[in-house]
Amino acid sequence: MDVAVKIQGVLDRSLAGCKNQFDLTLPNDATAGDLIGRLAEQPDAPLRDAIDPGQTRFPRHIRMFSNGEMLSTLGQPLVRQDGLGVNVNIVILNPMMGG
Amino acid sequence: MPKHEAIDQASQNDNEDVWIQSACGMCYNQCGIRGHRVDGTLIKIEGNPDNPIGRGRLCARGLAGIQLLYDPHRIDYPLRRTNPEKGIGVDPKWERISWDDALDEITERLATIKENDPRGLYFSGTVICLAPLSHALATFLPAFGTPNSFVSDGHQCGNAEHILARTLHGSVTTNPDVEHCDYLLLFGCQAGLGTYYALTTMAQDVADARDRGMKLVVVDPFLSSAAEKADEWVPIKPGSDGALACAILNLLVNEYRIFDADYLLEHADGPYLLTEDGWYARDPGSNRPLVWDIDAGKPRPFDDPELGQVALEGAYQVEGQTCRTVFETLKGTVAKWTPEAASEVTTIPPDMIRKIARDFGEAACIERTIEIDGRELPHRPAAALYFKGAHGHDNAWPTSMAIELLNEVVGASNVPGGLLGTTPVCDGHPDTGFPRWKPGANEDGLLDAGMLLYNDPYGVVPGWPPPPTDTELPNLRDLIGWPITTCFTPAALTDKENFSFDHKPELLLNYGSNLLMSAARPEVTFEAFKDTFVVSFNLHSDETAEALSDIVLPDTSYMERLDPLPNFTRHHHPVGLGNWGHTIRQPLVEPLHERRHFTEVLLELGQRLGLTETMNLLTNNLYGLVAPHALDPERTYSWREISDQAYRSWFGDEHGLDWFETNGVMRWPKKVEEVFWKPFVHARAPLYNEWLKRAGEQVDEIVEKKGIKGVDTSGFFPLPDWRPCRAHRAREGYDMQAIYYRVPWHTFSMTYENPWLDEISRGEPYSYFICINTKTARAKNITDGDPIEVEGADGGTIRGRARLTEGVHPEVLAVANNGGHWAKGMPFARGKGVFFNQLLPMDLEHSDLVSLSMDCDARVRVTRMAEGA
Ligand code: SF4
């Protein structure tokens, strides 16, 4: 399936010099973790060090949305129904955000 | 439009007579209300008996809300400052402008800031408006790209209590299960009796419990609304509550040996072994904390399936080191707090301390069980609770720890009769399973909360507490990131020689907070933002608006706006059995004049700035919206549409916005496992805060590298203890401590403009006066009603009239809330009561750096002034 990925960051500065749009092709049953793995292979992706491969969940400051819906675990599939293309948005929050 | 036209404008709808369900917003508790609207005019507000939040009862503030709606001194239109001079007491010379002009200017400035460095946007808010505050913090601000937010009532807030509510109760706040409690011990707190979370529900529950025979003991320097109803009032020197709690702990664990060994072994880290230098002893292979297996005669990881009988007490040899259990170390740490030692500090007689300890321990009935809904549970009918009076000091952390551990050692934590976290477990609505969260255990087997301030569908994830990383944020979130709120930003911004931030506040967006009055001495806050463009969203032209704001936008009151989930984080939900309640806040009348809802304006600003896509995604995140109700990032939604999606996502398509507008509240019964969750969740409460020891070392390293002075981490202590607060230090000529206390008919400084509440203050003898003990006053030649001056050893002077009373500790001056407004835009409040915060400096020295709690008492001297001075 075709996956269009857009990465947005709370601190635009943290993305300086990084590419933030990717068009990838992944297997139909690809998971959030598979996508992260693929992104980590891209030399100019901003998420290279953000997620430890041993984790099953996202760090608190990374939010991944598949067609707008938030994914909870790295094992969750990107597309649930018909295997059509999917838009993925990844938002990097500032981990220090608070009141 | 002249002011009196407000009523005319609201009266256009003839022959109307309706009751509308909604939520109160006069404080953070969001009690269920019904508004009676006749011909477009709101004529009455009363409690909604169908709503579990309040169950039909309101406090005085809730009943007086209508006076806020039609207050002729409300801000009705956008205003621009025409006086180029800013300053405390300076007339801003407002001119009315249009919304378009206001938003054009704000957008232009924000676009430039975003382009240059988004951290130039600062945001301050108030916890009173929790839903719009959360929405801003979790959507607009991250989408814009600024981490620079703070809550100006942060020093009135729970600070240390919120951290411990998290680590020990999986929540943000706590309340006792009074339905099954026989002995309630309150430290500087008025739960169910004056102020505090879930007030109106708790008031009914506490009254029932008192009827049933629950004993109430209140420790407080002032005869507060809670103390005056207690079986026993224990006057204490302010800031010494930790010493009292340590002495009670000492008596319980060392002298009386009243503790719940099973609880400490199974549900706390009591048996974990500590190395000689204070770290958990860990298994070299798995890195798991070790416990001592008595049967095997050797240490084993706490979760080893082969474990035999585990030692709670004692010291053992592990790899050449003498390792004590956490419980043994706790016993040793508190041993020095004999009743006599604590009496020196607290001024409470040793026998009284012994009696409280004995009564509390015996009331806990270790080993008693109770059957509820067919489940047999531990029953510990004793609870200790504290709030600002006890932890509003620069020794907040060790004090709070000591009080919390009273519950932990007797096992009265999240079981019937004990102290409960506020809704840490929710299995969701029976039809949809939403919203849902639950605490779990981290790798060390310790409790980690599920949902906290914002919806976090990830549940338990690694990464708390956030490790100290830097000192670039004036709210100190990168250095001390674990407190939920802090108002420290102005202090850091003005401490220029010490902190050298690489960005400055270009625009301050101030929502609903009067930060000049609520965040300590106003001069500090003024200095911090005097060169910043300030946009305030306000009900009144208050002190902050007049001194600092360039543009003031007219906010809606809670009676004029839609908040679909005003208490969606449920920090103010009643604890204990009963019903869950999800309430709508909806307009009781349409917004009068040109007032607009802050959240709607942020949606518009987001659109103007091109942030809608990210804001939509973050809205999905905030409310946990799932398909088909997740917002499409490409679309623009109105606030009504977003509210509708949130309801449908949580409660199903048949329960959208229309349903809530008609029915007001969604209820369903709580389950025993949700309320008394501790026996059902295998996660240990940390009596020992190893994380804090580590954090202290990391903070030291960072501040040393950066050359920042005044960051003292000696209070980053993993166990309870007591140390004097700043106001205890002897200062020649300053012989008293000044404190503030809360009255149940005011919310911070916010409600002083309300004439009905003013009437209460005028009708009672204390709250517009400075209370002083009768004997002390006589010794100082002060008589009742004399004008007096209170001068702080660390600066600041307040004046008022003396009220002589036996109901205050002899070394203490007590002031109610924060009155003494001076803004021209609040003519009714002006000069009423006393502005206590003038006595409070805001700096590192007067703060507890673990919780970012400020010292809310001051060393002072008092003198009688000449009449008319
Ligand atoms: S406790 Fe707070 S929310 Fe409840 S009625 Fe009083 S002011 Fe309103």
What pLDDT, on a 0 to 100 scale, did the predictor assign at position B155?
A: 65
Q: How far is the CA of B567 from the centre of ligand 1 (A)?
A: 12
Top mutation candidate among B29, B33, B202, B746 for ligand 1, by most atoms within 8 Å of CB: B29
Residue B122 confidence (pLDDT) above 80: yes
Q: Please state which of the ranges A24-33, B386-395, B593-602 shows the lowest mean pLDDT.
A: A24-33
Asked whether residue B565 is assigned to any structural domain, the reply reads no
The shortest CB-CB distance from B621 to any of A12, A63, A87 is to A63
Q: B633 in contact with A at a CB cutoff of 8 Å?
A: yes
Question: What letter represents residue B164's amino acid?
Answer: L
Q: How far is CA B189 from CA B327, B364, B465, in A?
A: 28, 20, 27
Choice among A53-67, B210-224, B231-245 with the minimum mean pLDDT: A53-67
Percent of chain A with pLDDT over 90: 0
Cβ atoms B217, B182 nearer than 8 A: no
The β-bridge relationship of strands B736-741 and B857-864 is: antiparallel
Residue B751 belongs to a domain = yes
**Is the pLDDT at B240 greater than 70, yes or no?**
yes
Q: Is A75 on the interface with B (CB under 8 A)?
A: no
pLDDT in tens, B729-739: 889 999 999 99
Length of chain A measured in residues:
99
Determine if ligand 1 sits within 6 Å of the CB of residue B252.
Answer: no
- CA B344-B347-B349 angle, to 5 degrees, is 90
Q: Which B residues 84-143 touch A at CB under 8 Å?
A: 114, 117-119, 125, 127, 133, 137-138, 141-143
**Least trusted range by pLDDT, from A76-90, B210-224, B458-472, B560-574:** B458-472
Residue B302: give the domain boundaries: 177-422
Answer whether B89's CB lies under 8 Å from B475's CB.
no
Residue of chain B nearest A87, judged by CA positions: B633
Chain B residue closest to A74 (CA)?
B458
pLDDT, averaged across chain B = 93
- The answer to whether the CB of B77 falls within 8 A of the CB of B593 is yes
- Cα B199 to averaged position of ligand 1 atoms, centre (Å): 7
Answer yes or no: are the C-beta atoms of B651 and B429 closer than 8 Å.
yes
Q: Is residue B290 part of a domain?
A: yes
Length of chain B in terms of residues written: 869
Domain boundary among B387, B422, B457: B422
Q: Which atom of ligand 1 is nearest to the CA of B63?
A: 5
Residue B486's DSSP bridge partners are: none
Chain B positions touching A87 (Cβ under 8 A) are 633
3-state secondary structure B89-133: CCCCCEEECCHHHHHHHHHHHHHHHHHHCHHHEEEEECHHHHHHH
Decide if B621 and A95 are in contact by the 8 Å CB cutoff.
Answer: no
Q: What is the pLDDT of residue B329?
A: 98
Q: Indicate the helix (H) or strand (E) that contains B228.
A: none
Kindly give the distance from the C-alpha atom of residue B192 to the centroid of ligand 1, in angstroms, as a whole number.
12
Nearest 5°: phi and psi at B653? -60, -30
User: Is residue B713 within 8 Å of residue B502, measured between CB atoms?
Assistant: no
pLDDT for B459 beyond 60: no
Q: Shortest CA distance to B503 belongs to which of B137, B844, B122, B143?
A: B122
Q: Indicate the fold that domain A2-93 takes in CATH.
A: Ubiquitin-like (UB roll) (3.10.20)
> What are the structure tokens assigned to A47, written together?
């998420």
Residue B125 Cα distances to B163, B509, B537, B546, B712, angstroms? 20, 8, 10, 17, 28
Residue of B312, B188, B277 lying closest to B687 (CA atoms)? B312
B660-705: per-residue pLDDT in tens?
Answer: 999 999 999 999 999 999 999 999 999 999 999 999 999 999 999 9
Residue type present at position B854: M
Is B218 inside a domain boundary?
yes
B148 assigned to some structural domain: no
Q: Report the complex ipTM.
A: 0.81
Q: What whole-number distance in Å separates Cα of residue B476 and Cα of residue B468?
A: 9
Tell me, yes or no, whether B789 lies in a domain.
yes
Residue B7 has pLDDT above 50, yes or no: no
- Contact status of B462 with chain A (Cβ, < 8 Å): yes
CB B848 within 8 A of CB B160: yes
Is B618's Cβ below 8 Å from some Cβ in A?
yes
Judge whether residue A95 has pLDDT over 70: no
Identify whether the C-beta of residue B186 lies closer than 8 Å to the C-beta of residue B226. Answer: yes
Question: Which of B128, B476, B614, B619 to mutate to test binding with chain A, by most A CBs within 10 Å of its CB?
Answer: B614
- Predicted confidence (pLDDT) per residue in B326-354, tens digit: 999 999 999 999 999 999 999 999 999 99
Q: What is the percent of chain B with per-residue pLDDT over 70, rounded to a whole number?
A: 96
CB B199 less than 6 A from any atom of ligand 1? yes
To test the ligand 1 pocket, which listed residue (B199, B204, B571, B756) has its Cβ within 8 A of the most ligand atoms? B199
Which residues lie below 8 Å from residue B818, measured CB to CB, with a gap of 6+? B517, B518, B740, B748, B749, B833, B835, B836, B837
Q: Is it the case that residue B460 has pLDDT exceeding 60?
A: no
B606-614 long-range CB contacts below 8 Å, 24 or more apart? Answer: B606/B139, B606/B140, B606/B143, B607/B636, B608/B103, B608/B107, B609/B107, B609/B110, B609/B111, B609/B114, B609/B144, B611/B140, B611/B143, B611/B144, B612/B636, B613/A8, B613/A89, B614/A8, B614/A91, B614/B142, B614/B143
Please tell me the distance between residue B400's alpha carbon and the centre of ligand 1 in angstroms.
26
- Cβ(B239)–Cβ(B728) under 8 Å? yes
The verdict on the CB of residue B30 being under 6 Å from ligand 1 is yes
Alpha carbons B421 and B423: distance in angstroms, whole number:
6
Range scoring the smallest mean pLDDT among B86-100, B132-146, B818-832: B132-146
Instruction: Find the CATH number of the domain harbouring B794.
Output: 2.40.40.20
How far is the C-alpha of B624 from the C-alpha of B630, rounded, in Å?
8
Over 80: is that where the pLDDT of A55 sits?
A: no
Residues of B in contact with A73 (CB under 8 A): 458
Question: Three-class SS of residue B803?
Answer: strand
Q: Averaged over B228-236, what is the pLDDT?
A: 97
Which residues, other chains included, contact B180 with Cβ-Cβ below 8 Å and sequence gap of 6+?
Answer: B370, B379, B381, B416, B417
Judged by CB atoms closer than 8 Å, whether chains meet at A69 and B624 is answered as no
Collapsing DSSP states into helix, strand and coil, what is residue B361?
helix
The alpha helices in B259-302, defined as continuous H runs, are: 261-266
**Out of B15-19, B567-571, B627-631, which region has the weakest mean confidence (pLDDT)?**
B567-571
* Residue at which a domain ends, from B403, B422, B441: B422
Please name the residues in contact with B318: beta carbons below 8 A apart, sequence gap of 6 or more: B273, B275, B281, B290, B299
- Yes or no, beta carbons of A99 and B484 under 8 Å apart: yes
Which one of B55, B57, B61 would you pick to mutate in the ligand 1 pocket, going by the greatest count of ligand atoms within 8 A of its CB? B61
Q: Encode pLDDT of B16-26 as tens digits.
A: 999 999 999 99
Does the pLDDT of residue B563 top 60, yes or no?
A: yes
Interface touch A98/B475, C-beta < 8 Å? yes
pLDDT, tens digit, 9 for 90 and up, residues B364-415: 999 999 999 999 999 999 999 999 999 999 999 999 999 999 999 999 999 9
pLDDT tens column, B515-544: 999 888 999 999 999 999 999 999 999 999
- Whether B838 is covered by a domain: the verdict is yes
Pocket perturbation via mutation, ligand 1, pick of B24, B45, B53, B195 by most ligand atoms within 8 A of CB: B24
Query: How many separate domains does chain B show?
Result: 2
Residue B24 beta carbon below 6 angstroms from any ligand 1 atom: yes
What are the tokens at B685? 């409460």
How do residues B138-196 score in pLDDT, each as one tens digit? 899 988 988 888 887 766 677 889 899 989 999 889 999 999 999 999 999 999 998 89
**Cα–Cα distance, B404 to B401 (Å, whole number):** 5
Provide the CB-side half-sphere exposure for B291 (13 A, CA): 27
Among residues B422, B453, B488, the one where a domain terminates is B422
3-state secondary structure of B669: strand
The b-or-e profile of B90-122 (16+ CB within 10 A means b, else e) is eebebeebeeeebbebbeebbeebbeebbbbbb
Query: What's the CA gap between A6 and A86, in Å, rounded?
Result: 11
Mean pLDDT of B14-42: 95
B64 lines ligand 1 (CB under 6 A): no
3-class DSSP state of B63: helix
pLDDT > 90? residue B280: yes
What pLDDT score does B793 carry? 97
pLDDT digits (tens, 9 = 90+) for B183-231: 999 999 999 998 899 999 999 999 999 999 999 999 999 999 999 999 9
In this model, does residue B571 exceed pLDDT 70?
A: yes
> Taking 60 as the threshold, does the pLDDT of residue B3 lie above it?
no
CA of B54 to the centre of ligand 1 (A): 8
Residue B78 alpha carbon to ligand 1 centre in Å: 29
Cα B157 to ligand 1 centroid, rounded to whole Å: 17
For residue B391, which of B164, B552, B239 has the smallest C-alpha distance? B239
* Candidate ranges A51-60, A72-81, B491-500, B697-706; pick with highest mean pLDDT: B697-706
Q: Identify the residue whose C-alpha is closest to ligand 1 atom 4.
A: B31
What does the pLDDT read at residue B485?
75
Quick check: is B307 in a domain? yes
Q: How far is CA B162 from CA B157, B422, B446, B518, in A?
A: 9, 11, 17, 19
Long-range contacts of A11-16 (CB under 8 A, 24+ apart): A11/A92, A11/A94, A11/B118, A11/B119, A11/B145, A11/B147, A12/B114, A12/B118, A12/B145, A13/B117, A14/A46, A14/A92, A15/A46, A15/A92
B484 touches chain A (CB under 8 A): yes
Domain ranges across chain A: 2-93
> How close, in Å, is residue B735 to chain A by CA atoms?
36
Euclidean distance between CA atoms B509 and B515, whole angstroms: 12
Diameter of chain A measured on Cα atoms? 41
